[in-house]
Amino acid sequence: MWNMMHWVDNCGYGMGFGWISMLLFWGAVIYLIVALVKKIGSSDKESAEAILKKRYARGEISNEEFERLRKEMICKESGR
């Protein structure tokens, strides 16, 4: 009789805490995976304007070409 009551007591509380800890564990794993994917995906992207400014600073394009390309970017972003 004592063994059966002992099993019921442990099972009743243990199952509840077990599920909670399982949910917390898998939630943390999913959160870490999503955060890692976002960080990896966003670190390689550079805006078109930043690239254009770097090319102008290095002297690869003239002032007129810089202004023309910048105006084209603005028009495309605004949907014109």
Tokens found for residue 63: 């002032």
* E strand or H helix that includes residue 39: helix 2-43
Domain ranges of the chain: 1-38, 46-80
How many residues appear in the chain? 80
Fill in the amino acid letter for 49. E
**pLDDT tens for residues 20-63?**
889 999 999 999 999 998 887 765 567 888 899 999 999 999 99
Give the CA radius of gyration of the chain: 29
Higher pLDDT residue, 53 or 76? 53
Q: How far apart are CA 23 and CA 21, in angstroms?
A: 5
Q: What is the mean pLDDT of residues 68-77?
A: 88
**What is the pLDDT at residue 60?**
94
